[in-house]
């Protein structure tokens, strides 16, 4: 059995109150912005759900091996605190004198930011490794410009930290290159050179244009949901070599499987 609470002591908390206390809203948003910026992804709810499923599997395995059951307790705030600690943010807060600031859409400590194409589409472009940086340089044909920039700034962009330090100047060059090309042209150049990038999409654009969110991806199937209608519905993202994937089904109605579960465990 897994018991999920808001806080470890059983008091109430939800994703958005947990996130508010972790410091993340104060490093989210544009540089110079005052006050917190809430995110719209319920990250701690999602992570807690996946951890709960893992806990059930671990407890069931323990019972098969030892014959003993387990009560597993899990709180949203502990999940948030654990992830924040594993990301190094707690250690940084203790060890560094200056607090982490806001850096807008820059990926902290490396190179990554959004850019606007000639046809007003936005793309996210990253270079986290030396190979990815070389791919970006080759795709844009800006090797000479970047070498001159390295010499002027005294940096070496194969080094991740130097890409971070030179991020504003790199972005100026890259934005100028992207700004005169439409998304189709940028896509062709980046994909041909294996650049780490992706387009920004609204939900509507995703379901209309992205094959990963369509029936061509075996994750999805068209499912009829009572009282709602039919739409592509994802199944489990796990793929096992020795078992067929379970096709997605409509979400159960509240209490639909209660009797089935009770019969299974003779309750």
Residue ranges per structural domain of the chain: 2-95, 111-200, 213-264
Is 266 designated active site? no
pLDDT at 260: 87
- The yes-or-no verdict on residue 227 having pLDDT over 90 is no
pLDDT at 108: 95
% of the chain surpassing 90 pLDDT = 90
Going by C-beta distance under 8 Å and a sequence separation of 6 or more, which residues neighbour residue 224?
Answer: 230, 250
Please pick, among 9, 15, 45, 227, the residue that the annotation labels catalytic: 45
pLDDT digits (tens, 9 = 90+) for 242-265: 999 889 999 888 888 898 888 887
pLDDT at 263: 86
Residue with tokens 């061509």: 216
Provide mean pLDDT across the span 99-118.
96
pLDDT at 267: 56
Provide mean pLDDT across the span 34-41.
94
Burial code (b: 16+ CB inside 10 Å, e: under 16) for 167-192 equals bebbbebbeebbeebebeebbebbee
Estimate to the nearest angstrom the gap between the alpha carbon of 240 and the chain centroid: 23
pLDDT digits (tens, 9 = 90+) for 55-89: 999 999 999 999 999 999 999 999 999 999 999 99
Kind and range of the H or E run holding 171? helix 167-179
pTM: 0.86
Fold of the domain built from segment(s) 111-200: formyl-coa transferase, domain 3 (3.30.1540)
Provide mean pLDDT across the span 19-29.
96
């Amino acid at each position: 059995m897994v018991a999920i609470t808001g806080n470890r002591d059983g008091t109430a908390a939800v994703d958005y109150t947990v996130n508010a206390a972790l410091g993340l809203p104060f490093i989210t948003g544009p540089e110079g912005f005052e006050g917190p910026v809430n995110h719209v992804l319920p990250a701690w709810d999602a992570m807690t759900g996946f951890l709960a499923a893992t806990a059930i599997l671990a407890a069931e395995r323990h019972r098969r091996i030892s014959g003993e059951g387990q009560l597993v307790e899990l709180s949203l705030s502990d999940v948030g605190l654990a992830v924040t600690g594993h990301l190094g943010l707690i250690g940084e807060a203790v060890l560094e004198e200056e607090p982490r600031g806001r850096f807008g859409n820059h990926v902290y400590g490396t190179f990554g930011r959004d850019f606007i194409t000639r046809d007003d589409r936005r793309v996210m472009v990253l270079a986290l490794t030396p190979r990815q940086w070389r791919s970006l340089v080759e795709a844009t044909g800006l090797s000479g410009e970047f070498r001159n920039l390295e010499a002027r700034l005294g940096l070496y962009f194969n080094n991740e930290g130097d890409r971070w330090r030179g991020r504003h100047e790199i972005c100026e060059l890259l934005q100028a290159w992207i700004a005169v090309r439409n998304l189709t042209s940028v896509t062709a150049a980046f994909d041909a050179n294996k650049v780490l990038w992706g387009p920004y999409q609204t939900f509507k654009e995703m379901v209309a244009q992205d094959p990963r969110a369509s029936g061509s991806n075996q994750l999805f199937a068209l499912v009829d949901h009572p009282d709602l209608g039919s739409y592509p519905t994802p199944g489990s993202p796990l793929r096992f070599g020795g078992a067929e994937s379970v096709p997605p089904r409509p979400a159960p109605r509240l209490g639909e499987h209660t009797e089935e579960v009770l019969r299974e465990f003779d309750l």
